[in-house]
Amino acid sequence: MKIEGKNSVSEALRSNVTVNSLVCQKGTDSDIVALARQKGVKVTFVDRAVLDKMSADGRHQGYIADITDFVYCDVDDILVGEHPFVVVLDGINDPHNFGSIIRTCECAGVDGIIIGRNRQVAVTDTVVRTSAGATAHVKIARVTNVNNAIKQLKDRGVWVYALDMDGQDITQTDLKGSVAIVVGAEGEGIAPYTKRCCDGVVSLKLKGKVNSLNASVACGVALYEALRQRG
């Protein structure tokens, strides 16, 4: 997998991700190059035009690295703390939304993310880039059946709440203990049966004329309400 951009490459080098090689723009002398050399990563310097051709969208910022494909964890690997804080994604197909959610989860101290194999984008180079390298620090479990994963969470004492329009005000819901928040895709939302698998439904206050938020934005608001309560 190729990743690009200063943040993504820097975070990969600082984590346990295996970086196979790094291509940099000629004349570059930075902490990223020094760290790559320190870790024994092969560094190659090329003209910017070469990087432009290698780049998916021209946003390489002078750095493109080749890393091993993302390694998913098991759900049990996420449930290691006393009060797990988990996000479950149901059908997020936009890699930019997924990357933004991963970045927010890392900043909010989420213990891990659970995604399904179907109807859900995997961790791709676009997701890594959009996450600003947060994929290097967030555990992500990819499961065959999201509903079974929710039942597994409940069996382990985790309260699971669907984030949707028809629920209780999230500020009036206790999110301080072992909690998982399920976020659905824009438009379709959370699948009806998946919502029924949850312990409850929570909603965000919307006072404008538009009655919905971008999935990553809604997830961010919900996570920071949970973070506020959890201290």
Where do the structural domains in the chain lie, given as residue ranges? 2-67, 75-230
The CATH number given to 2-67 is 3.30.1330.30
228, 168, 230, 229: which is closest to 198 by C-alpha?
168
The CATH number given to 75-230 is 3.40.1280.10
Q: Cα(36)–Cα(49) distance, rounded to whole angstroms?
A: 22
Spatial contact of 6 and 32, defined as CB atoms under 8 Å apart: yes
Model-wide pTM > 0.75:
yes
Please report, in tens digits, the pLDDT of each residue of the chain (231 residues total): 999 999 999 999 998 889 999 999 998 888 999 999 999 999 999 999 999 999 988 889 999 999 988 999 999 999 998 999 999 999 999 999 999 999 999 999 999 999 999 889 999 989 998 999 899 999 999 999 999 999 999 999 999 999 998 899 999 999 999 999 999 987 788 999 999 999 999 999 888 877 778 999 999 999 999 999 998
Radius of gyration of the chain (CA): 19
